[in-house]
Structure 1
Amino acid sequence: MEEKGSNFSALVLQHAQQRPDRLALVIPPEVSGADVVQEVTYGQLADRVEAFRRGLEDAGFVPGDRIVVVFPVSVDLYALVLAIFAAGMVAVLVDMGMGLRRVLWAIEDSRAVAMVSVHRLLRWHALLPTLWPLRLVVADHPGGLGLRPLDALRRAGPRRPALERAPDDHALITFTSGSTGRPKGADRTHGLLTAQHLALAEHFPHRDDDIDCPCFPVVVLHDLCCGLTAVLPAVDLRAPGQVEPERVLQQLRARRATRLTAAPAFMERLAAHMLTHDVRLPEVNSLFVGGGPVSRALCAQLTQAFPGADAQVVYGSTEAEPMTSASMVEVRDEGGDGFLVGRPAEVAEIAVVQIDTPAPRLGPEGIAPWVVPVGALGEIVVRGPHVNQRYVDNPEADAVNKIRAEAGSVWHRTGDVGRWDERGRLWLHGRTKDAVSHDGRLHQPLAVEQACDALDGVRRVALIQHPRAALLAVDFGDRGPEVDAALRRTLERFGLAGVAVHPVPFIPTDRRHNTKIDRPALRAYVTATWWGDALPC
């Protein structure tokens, strides 16, 4: 078993000694924006890491310095992030899909001393006061006034061990945000990153010769810790739902990929193409789908398209990965309302609770007084060695999202609403902030949407709370009286009789995985298109 390094990067760099000629990364142009496929072995990756590390140190950066890294996924991106870790510095990753205002908030809150990004953003640095205090490095341009090229940070030299770091030392700060409010930075320490890697390796065992195709850039770090080859899929990772299936299938065959990790929107298009054209990939032995609700229909498609694979639905988050998993065969064949996400990972302690916000500090009884009965809905909370303990420099976010126990452990509040069943399995029903009020009761949307989505003539629906009323937005495939009647019957079954049905041309989804419904954007669209006093029903 691999040793725990005090510096997370050591888990990756050890493979440069053990298997220097093994391919580490394959990154196609669709991902990197380069003209050619980028490939690098573990030995070559370690050399790039050392070159960046020496360049950072020669430039005067010191352990603890925070550096914002925002440019397309590439070999240089992973080499630079690993160099930052190895030098004892802190990488700050910001989700550019948040929009410019929140990106600038995140950069300001990160307390970074430098930023490495693309020219189309940095060229405006003179007009963006948030960037004025930062040393700016441009990743895709020769540089210019106030901008240093990334190549200037390369200094060749013999490899050195990663700098010793304590488990609680910052390694990676990731800023993501919902649609409202100031983004919060998850504090992923060296100890936490290591614990998440070990939890994933234990819960989803791999073979030494596996070749993974991960849609999630952060999963690549786990692959590299395992010494696997990571082949990123030939798709713009900002729009996985727009994948061209045949292009990816050619890539998977050529690289002989054995594992596939992706979001539901990506897998829906891939599976539909495979079944339509009777294509199979017998080399794929493992399939992991997460990042959003995974429907029974998708599980049915995937178990048919990948009949020999261990196909799993995965539930987790930035703050706690993994939390639970379920066999797709089990999800496919199981009835019931909500989305089945299975049983907890070995290191994850999960509870379903009803608790105040902010939560009180727990006493000797722990979380037990707030736990709801089996079958009842409540907020899902999780703790374990792989669970994020705090947000960076943000006590307000900690107060809302963390529950501190008497012994010092921390429960993370996911914001998800779910229930346990009698067999110890977790089901998702929605999010605390997405509850809809109707006739004096609160309703979670996922089970309602799941039932409506399964109706003929319906592409997708979203149950949302609008200031004027609760309503069901519907993207109709083929609307008719039978479809309207089926929708009304379904709403009545869930206690939502009288909820208005509002046709929409599409249901907007999140920018990261193209899977979760973007409810604020949908509410804004409905507001802009809602004329008169009544909704069409």
Structure 2
Amino acid sequence: MVNVASLLREMACNQPYTRAVVCPLRQNRDRGIAYAHLTFRQLDRESDCLAHGLLRHGIKRGTRTILMVKPSLEFFALTFALFKVGAVPVMVDPGMGMKRMLNCLSESKATAFIGIPLAQALRVCTPGSFKSVHISITIGKQWFWRGPRLEDIRRTPWEPFPIAKTRKDETAAILFTTGSTGPAKGVVYTHGIFDAQVRHIKDRFDITPGEIDLPTFPLFALFDPALGMTAVIPDMDPTKPATVDPERIIELILNHGVTNMFASPALLNRVGRYGQTHSIKLPSLKRVISAGAPALPDNLERFSRLLEPETEIFPGYGATEAMPVSVMGSHEILQKTRRLSEQGYGICVGRVLPGLKVRIIRISDDTIPQWS
């Protein structure tokens, strides 16, 4: 059996009262931002209650379930509830645009839909993209449709939910990428892939339970409960990292003592420029992991000025379902490979992680009958 939800239950036993997820609620002009949180024990129990309700309403092992929820406490509880049931959450990056998003949702052939009112309105108004959906659950108020709400399906009092005994090759989730380099496509995550990524990320970056993460890309925030890290969810539009409010990011890091940050180069550039101008220091950060695009040396150097001398930025290379494949720290990039990049040799993508095998295929426009 391999099921990523079992890692959450393990953390709930090992560190039950540690915060698992922290979300901003509102901003007070005088007192700053107010936050809500779930501990690992609370997240495990809340996902148990929801898993019982999902199963009772027909969402079972293998059920493809579109999940359209903003980064929130409900997002984490629902995702792990779906994992516990053995259902397959289908998630789409809304930044790809309405037309492509609807095409992706239609291609998913999902039979269940869980979403906030705005997402439900989209489903009702564009029925052609949701022909396969026959189970619908609303998070919040219903406007002009019927069906159960999240509060209706939540089972109380709490009873432990028996986690589905999924195989490592069984589909855990389908994630649709933005398709910025081509047509949007569904990335199939198996439970084995999730488990392997958690292990490789933990080992390569020496992540220990009890650390505090600032994941600025929601899908990668799902790794945090499995790693035993507290996920502090930023108040930002994750589809537009280049326009993020740097003050809010810096405030979160300083208020919560964030030790790890996952961010795109665009966000690092935005926050780094602001931090350099205002002489900001971020001493709590132990590491910064970057992905999504090449991280240029100038960008790394600028953001490094906000960090302690020993703290590094790690640009990772790899596809969504295999991240990271290789990595190299900013110290080595700035001291060794930067000069070659500036001479036109491209961006060094680092060294392959221990335990991984990488093969390079021939460049060809034809189909490849055999990988080489």
Paired with 1:309 and 1:341, the residues of 2 have a C-alpha distance of 19
Q: How does 1:447-462 map to 2 (within 5 A)?
A: none
Contact kept, 8 Å, 1:22 with 1:42, in 2: the verdict is: yes
Aligned to 1:139: 139
Paired with 1:345 and 1:151, the residues of 2 have a C-alpha distance of 44
Q: How does 1:478-493 map to 2 (within 5 A)?
A: none
Paired with 1:219 and 1:106, the residues of 2 have a C-alpha distance of 20
The residue type paired with residue 128 of structure 1 is P
Residue 109 of structure 1 pairs with residue 117 of structure 2: no
Contact kept, 8 Å, 2:94 with 2:239, in 1: the verdict is: no
Paired with 2:86 and 2:248, the residues of 1 have a C-alpha distance of 39
Aligned to 1:246: 247
Deviations along 1:157-215, one digit per CA (max 9) or x if unpaired, are 31133111111111101122425975322111111111111111122111333211111
> Structure 1 residues 153, 331: closer, same or farther in 2, change over 3 A?
same
Residue 212 of structure 1 pairs with residue 208 of structure 2: no
Contact kept, 8 Å, 1:142 with 1:148, in 2: the verdict is: no
Q: How does 1:44-59 map to 2 (within 5 A)?
A: 44-59=42-57
Shift of 1:87: 0.6
Q: How does 1:287-306 map to 2 (within 5 A)?
A: 287-306=288-307
Superposed CA RMSD in Å reads: 2.2
> Structure 1 residues 213, 121: closer, same or farther in 2, change over 3 A?
closer
Paired with 1:76 and 1:240, the residues of 2 have a C-alpha distance of 23
Contact kept, 8 Å, 2:52 with 2:161, in 1: the verdict is: no
Q: How high is the TM-score relative to the length of structure 2?
A: 0.89
Residue 79 of structure 1 pairs with residue 81 of structure 2: no
Paired with 1:310 and 1:38, the residues of 2 have a C-alpha distance of 30
- Give the SS at the match of 1:349: coil
Deviations along 1:97-150, one digit per CA (max 9) or x if unpaired, are 222222222222212111112322322415422224422222232454234322
Q: 1:321 aligns with which of 314, 320, 323?
A: 323
Contact kept, 8 Å, 2:193 with 2:321, in 1: the verdict is: no
Paired with 1:17 and 1:161, the residues of 2 have a C-alpha distance of 15
Q: Which runs of 5+ in 1 are unaligned?
A: 368-537
Residue 344 of structure 1 pairs with residue 352 of structure 2: yes
Residue 128 of structure 1 pairs with residue 132 of structure 2: no
- Give the SS at the match of 1:238: coil
Aligned to 1:17: 13
Paired with 2:77 and 2:140, the residues of 1 have a C-alpha distance of 15
The residue type paired with residue 120 of structure 1 is L
Q: How does 1:94-493 map to 2 (within 5 A)?
A: 94-124=92-122, 125-134=124-133, 135-142=135-142, 144-156=144-156, 157-178=158-179, 183-306=184-307, 307-333=309-335, 334-336=338-340, 337=344, 338-362=346-370, 367=372
Paired with 1:261 and 1:177, the residues of 2 have a C-alpha distance of 18
- Give the SS at the match of 1:305: coil
- Give the SS at the match of 2:17: coil
- Give the SS at the match of 1:281: coil
Paired with 2:13 and 2:138, the residues of 1 have a C-alpha distance of 31
Paired with 1:328 and 1:68, the residues of 2 have a C-alpha distance of 38
Paired with 2:306 and 2:34, the residues of 1 have a C-alpha distance of 30
Contact kept, 8 Å, 2:69 with 2:116, in 1: the verdict is: yes
Paired with 1:343 and 1:60, the residues of 2 have a C-alpha distance of 46
Contact kept, 8 Å, 2:201 with 2:207, in 1: the verdict is: no
> Structure 1 residues 235, 145: closer, same or farther in 2, change over 3 A?
closer
- Give the SS at the match of 1:360: coil
Contact kept, 8 Å, 1:300 with 1:329, in 2: the verdict is: no
> Structure 1 residues 180, 314: closer, same or farther in 2, change over 3 A?
closer
- Give the SS at the match of 2:192: helix
The residue type paired with residue 75 of structure 1 is L
Paired with 2:247 and 2:92, the residues of 1 have a C-alpha distance of 31
Contact kept, 8 Å, 2:316 with 2:323, in 1: the verdict is: no
The residue type paired with residue 349 of structure 1 is K
- Give the SS at the match of 1:341: coil
Residue 41 of structure 1 pairs with residue 45 of structure 2: no
Paired with 2:162 and 2:232, the residues of 1 have a C-alpha distance of 27
Paired with 1:181 and 1:258, the residues of 2 have a C-alpha distance of 35
> Structure 1 residues 59, 103: closer, same or farther in 2, change over 3 A?
same
Q: How high is the TM-score relative to the length of structure 1?
A: 0.63
Shift of 1:41: 0.3
Contact kept, 8 Å, 1:260 with 1:287, in 2: the verdict is: yes
Larger Rg: 1
Paired with 2:235 and 2:132, the residues of 1 have a C-alpha distance of 37
The residue type paired with residue 317 of structure 2 is Y
> Structure 1 residues 168, 351: closer, same or farther in 2, change over 3 A?
closer
The residue type paired with residue 333 of structure 2 is V
Paired with 1:292 and 1:209, the residues of 2 have a C-alpha distance of 29
The list of structure 1 runs, each at least 4 consecutive aligned residues, that deviate by more than 4 angstroms after superposition, is 179-182
The residue type paired with residue 260 of structure 2 is R
The residue type paired with residue 347 of structure 1 is G
Bigger proportion of residues as strand: 1
Identity %: 27
> Structure 1 residues 213, 182: closer, same or farther in 2, change over 3 A?
closer
Paired with 2:298 and 2:353, the residues of 1 have a C-alpha distance of 24
Paired with 1:358 and 1:20, the residues of 2 have a C-alpha distance of 53
Deviations along 1:11-34, one digit per CA (max 9) or x if unpaired, are 11211122111100112248xxxx
The residue type paired with residue 13 of structure 1 is R
Paired residues in the alignment total 357
Paired with 2:234 and 2:145, the residues of 1 have a C-alpha distance of 36
